[in-house]
A and B are shown apart, each in its own frame.
Chain A
Amino acid sequence: MRWTGLAVSFAALGVVAVLSITVGAQAIPLEEVWQQLWNPTGGESAAIVHDLRVPRTLLGLCVGTALGLAGALMQGLTRNPLADPGLLGVNSGASLAVVGSIVFFDVTDMRTWVWFSMAGAALAAAAVYALGATGRGAAGPARLVLAGAAVSAALLSAVEAMLTLDAGAFDRWRFWDVGALAGRDAAVVAEIAPFVAVGAVLALGLGRGLNAIALGEQAGQGLGVNLPRVRLGGAAAIMLLCGAATAAAGPIGFIGLMAPHAVRAFTGPDNRWVLAYSAVLAPALLLTADVVGRVVVRPGELESGIVTAFVGAPVLIYLLRRRAVRL
């Protein structure tokens, strides 16, 4: 049953990916897109398909997978159904590092940002984890969330300080901060793909550990699961996934929150399945948001980060009002 569902999810992802290559400001018929994809004949439509839409779709796949898995991991690790990559301070760490690289080292290209972003995400995650792990008893669910909120606030203020004093950096930052898949070339995808792949493998292997955490501290240890190792592995995976995704697309919200939530409706609480489904459905969700953003305000575009916020926030409110999330 769950395998069938996973197959259906893959099919849905395929459909959305095709849509993402087909739909755009420039109307190109499906047959022509298909032909240009496999046998490019040069010319405008070939350029559009190969240089714009394919990299954008691939980036959406990478970023979506990364955010979905990171969200599922965080919700499992913190046992908080409302955790998302903004929560553990990871996005703000990445933001600070990217802005710092613009202000102090005058970095302009995406490929260098990836490294800064990942380092920033790692440092922020480490700080949050260290703070959350103070004292006896390991980092509990509420602690990590609070620690994340505190660290984020401090980091984002540093971002604001740098942006206030440097107008040029502000100009570049505002286009990154909005969260978008457009305007990134294929090299960016190639740059982040290995990190996402390693992170994804690590994340998918943690399902059993997350299930043990779900049972609670003592029961988990009683089952013979090394909880500190699961937490550390989870943090490493989150760093890889979020660092790469955020560097490439900017801080895109709500995918990491929505996807695992939607998924749990089919899979139930087993984290192995939640992770697997999230990895497939999150990119489908992100690509859908991206396609919608291209269609709604033609001939202009809405960045996908804006679409996800406008779809994700009402979904979150609906969830909060209607059911499930025990408060």
Chain B
Amino acid sequence: MSVYRILSTPSRRISVRVHLRASAVVAVLLAATAAVVLVAMGTGSAVPVGDVVRTLLGGGDAMSEMVVYELRAPRAALALLVGAALGAGGAIVQSLSRNPLGSPDVVGVNAGAAAGAVLVILVVGAPTPLGVAAGALACGLAAALAVYALSYTRGVQGTRLILVGVAVTAMLHSVIAYLLTRADLYESQGAKVWLVGSLAGAGWERVGPVAAATAVLLPAALVLGRSLGTMEMGDDAAGALGLRVERLRFALLLVAVALSGTAVSAAGPIAFVALAAPQLARRLTRAPGAGVAAASAAGALLLATADLAVQRLPTPGQLPVGVLTGGLGGLYLAWLLHREWRAGRS
């Protein structure tokens, strides 16, 4: 029995090869995400579930309309978009570097974006949110570009890409540490938020740019990502099968970096979603290749769930969601490694 099915138009002009299990996984992940979003929108301290339903049906009072449409909905939307972008970007970079640790944060996007944001906040002074996001995006892209250029010697090798990323990240972290010690405590505290990603206080003005960027980049990632399975066979084999390896890799990396840069500029560097989502997707689908669709669905689910959790956890003050994803992601990775090693695989 084949795990693939070919779907085509009656004239067989256009046809798509579909991995059955992967498609089912994407459907299940999307359903779970929808459930989480409903819980996040429907529950909370101020407005009870009944009022939310009434508001969604168009009969709520001004107060519940404000809470649902201006507070909860944009936050949930941002979580979905950022999670999907992180998952897709992570899947591409992990597949290109052929290393599960090769998420975009490793290639310098997160550190670059954080440094850019902190720089704008502390050096420019009195920044607008858009200015900070622009600084983050510009520096994130610049850092990733620098990493790619520095690891280029007659083509880019996966491991070297990661290691150069580690080096550049370390430099950027020392820039951040330096800036934090030179500013006064209040400013520095504000900039600190940019070191850990957070979705708190998201409004529609933060959602708009991300939605636009994702609408372009995610389809591009899905289309380009179909050749990742072949790329994973190695440069020589992929070249022999007719792929223009170097050009394709550059395009893929550009899309991946733009996706994670978008995510970071909207929500700050949220750790581990880009690492965990593709791993989760890969384990569920058991399909070759990066599984960009499944990874972005998994990313949206993970981030929406984590953001729901930080809103409901009884902590003194709300934690940024990046703290939770980082902590849980680290433990998840440790558990994953433990399980694989105990089973004797290495």
* Chain A residues packing against B (C-beta within 8 Å): 82, 131, 134-137, 140, 142-143, 146-147, 149-158, 160-161, 163-165, 167, 170-171, 174-175, 177-179, 253-254, 302-303, 305-306, 309-310, 312-314, 316-317, 320-321, 325, 327
Which residues on B sit within 8 Å (CB–CB) of A158?
327
Residues of A near B244 (CB, < 8 A) are: none
Q: A153-B329, A154-B326, A320-B151 are in contact. Are A254 and B196 (CB under 8 A)?
A: no
Q: Which residue of A lies closest to B153 (CB)?
A: A321
Q: Contact partner of B159 among A164, A167, A302, A327, CB < 8 A?
A: A327
- Given A164-B196, A303-B178; 10 other pairs, CB 8 A cutoff: A154-B326, A155-B330, A157-B271, A160-B195, A165-B316, A177-B177, A302-B178, A309-B170, A313-B170, A313-B171
**B173 interfacial by beta-carbon distance below 8 Å:** yes
Q: Give the CA-CA distance A134 to B344 in the complex, in Å.
A: 9
Interface presence of B180 (CB below 8 A): yes
Name the interface residues of B275-325: CB closer than 8 Å to any CB of A: 315-317, 319-320, 322-325
Say yes or no: A317 contacts B164, CB within 8 Å: yes
SS of B interface (majority): helix
Contact A147 B334, CB 8 Å, known A137-B346, A165-B315: yes
On whether the beta carbons of B326 and A153 are closer than 8 Å, the reply is yes
Contact B330 A136 (CB under 8 A): no
Q: Bin chain B's interface residue count.
A: 35 or more
Point out the residue from B196, B323, B331, B337 that lies within 8 Å of A146, measured CB to CB. B337
Also in contact, A312 and B170, with CB within 8 A (given A153-B271, A157-B271, A321-B150): yes
Measured CB to CB, the closest approach of chain B to A143, in angstroms, equals 7
B163 touches A316 (CB 8 A): yes
A309 to B115, CA, bound (A): 15
Docked complex Cα distance between A157 and B270 (Å)? 11
A306 touches B170 (CB 8 A): no
Which of A157, A177, A254: most chain B Cβ within 10 A?
Answer: A157
Tell me the complex Cα distance, A278–B188, Å. Answer: 37
Q: Find residues 161-192 in chain B having any chain A CB closer than 8 Å to their own CB.
A: 163-164, 166-168, 170-171, 173-175, 177-178, 180-181, 185, 188-189, 192
**Highest count of chain A CB atoms <10 Å: which of B153, B170, B338:** B170
25 contacting pairs across A/B (C-beta < 8 A): A135-B344, A135-B346, A143-B346, A146-B101, A149-B101, A149-B333, A151-B330, A152-B330, A157-B322, A157-B325, A160-B196, A160-B323, A164-B323, A170-B192, A174-B188, A178-B177, A178-B181, A253-B170, A254-B170, A305-B177, A309-B170, A312-B167, A313-B168, A313-B170, A317-B168
- Docked pose: A170 CA to B174 CA in angstroms: 16
Contact A150 B188, beta carbon cutoff 8 Å = no
By a CB distance below 8 angstroms, the chain A residues around B343 are 135
A47 to chain B, nearest CB (A): 25
Are B174 and A305 touching (Cβ within 8 A)?
A: yes
- Tell whether A153 pairs with B177 under 8 Å between CB atoms, given A135-B341, A161-B323: no
Closest 5 CB pairs of A and B: A154-B330, A157-B326, A153-B330, A309-B174, A157-B327
Contact B323 A157 (CB under 8 A): yes
* CB of B43 within 8 Å of the partner chain: no
Residues of B within 8 A of A305 (CB): 174, 177
Does A170 contact B189, Cβ atoms closer than 8 Å?
Answer: yes
Q: Which residues of B contact A134 (CB under 8 A)?
A: 337-338, 341-342
